[in-house]
Structure 1
Amino acid sequence: MSLHFPFQPDHRGRSAEADEDTHLRDMIEQVLFTIPGERVNRPDFGCGLLQLVFAPNSDTLAAALQMTVHSALQQWLGERIVVEAVTVEHDDALLAVEVQYVSRSGQDRRLARFSRGAP
């Protein structure tokens, strides 16, 4: 078992734990929504997706985001998952990313959807 992200206590008051599938999803979320430079000891960690919420919507932006997300996931989680597809939707101030991946440990195919809007 691994710690749940974001960190939180469980019903017993202990650190909440996550199963393998939930932990992988949590790690993907961390890569997607961490801005490079945000982590002190890993300044290149993340892909900076949140910085693009206010960027002009275009097919070029969506294609660039797909490549950025795919390469960041390969770089940081390539030992844990195989990224099969990344889909990016950008509508006004809403950004949604869908990641289809296979866990290297269990060979299970998963689809995870993440979205963030402007604050």
Structure 2
Amino acid sequence: MTTPRTQLDFPWHYDEHGRTALTDDDDHLRDMVEQVLFTSPGERVNRPDFGCGLLQLVFAPNSPELAAAVEFTVRAALQRWLGDLLEVLSLEVAAEDGTLRVDLAYAVRRTATTTTATFTREVPA
């Protein structure tokens, strides 16, 4: 049995029938995590404090202190915006060769399933 597609897919696009693409709840949660990670505070008009500013922290000199600050900031943002939907189990953020990579393991509270996901973004030079 397939899971019904009930949520808008991110990024927004058309499906094969020319309608707004939909996705299932698990993929929608992953999409919401991606939005929290890569949205900078101030970027959303009606939610100026949404996001975690991860892309801005990448430009600081690499150090153990920065790594700890990035992990704390990302965990806090995920807890604030998605804490009722997921529990962060593990988190690793790495910036290598102009690419930002976030490896995340989380438990979906609704189903108690564990999910791992990797999110990447090219860091502008």
Q: Is the 8 A contact 1:94 1:118 kept in 2?
A: yes
Q: Displacement of 1:92 after TM fit?
A: 4.2
Find the counterpart in structure 2 of residue 94 from structure 1: 99
Find the counterpart in structure 2 of residue 26 from structure 1: 31
Match of 1:40 among 36, 45, 50: 45
Alignment partners' CA distance in 1, 2:16 and 2:48: 34
Identity %: 55
Q: How many residues align?
A: 119
Alignment partners' CA distance in 1, 2:10 and 2:106: 19
Alignment partners' CA distance in 2, 1:52 and 1:68: 10
Q: Is the 8 A contact 1:53 1:94 kept in 2?
A: no
Q: Displacement of 1:103 after TM fit?
A: 0.5
Alignment partners' CA distance in 2, 1:102 and 1:62: 23
Q: Does 1:8 align with 2:13?
A: yes
- Runs of 4 or more, structure 1, over 3 Å off, are none
Relative contact order (alpha carbons < 8 A, sep ≥ 6): 1 or 2 greater? 1
Using structure 2 for the length normalisation, give the TM-score: 0.90
Using structure 1 for the length normalisation, give the TM-score: 0.94
Alignment partners' CA distance in 2, 1:59 and 1:17: 41
